[in-house]
Structure 1
């Protein structure tokens, strides 16, 4: 059975792709690399924000109150 892609795999891929795009644009065009990476970094922040707050890693807000067994 093969690997199945999960939502957070796509989040990580999106962050990498946006930062790599910023580097490539800065390298291959007249746009400064610092500017292009910063602008594309804002897209990465938006992707991370969506992964954390819109489609968070919990099923319900009540799951946030569950005790963490590894720390007990």
Structure 2
């Protein structure tokens, strides 16, 4: 059985890649580490925000009213 990539796998990969690029830019160029990592962090936050609010893990607003059985 082959693994199929899901949307949230790509979000996590994007967060890792953006922070890695920020670190690489800091290490390989004269750009300050605080600047490059901060810029990469903004990209990571944008990816996380898209995963949470634009393409959230629910199908519709009515899913938000479902009771959670594990807490009852």
Unaligned runs of 5+ in 1: none
Unaligned runs of 5+ in 2: none
Deviations 1:47-72 (A, max 9, x none): 00100011000000100010000000
Deviation at 1:45, TM superposition (A): 0.5
Deviation at 1:25, TM superposition (A): 0.2
TM-score normalised per structure 1: 0.98
Deviations 1:17-54 (A, max 9, x none): 00000000000000011110000100000000100011
4+ residue stretches of structure 1 with deviation over 6 A?
A: none
SS in structure 1 opposite 2:18? helix
Number of aligned positions between the proteins: 72
2:13 maps to which residue? 13
SS in structure 1 opposite 2:49? helix
TM-score normalised per structure 2: 0.98
Cα-Cα RMSD: 0.5
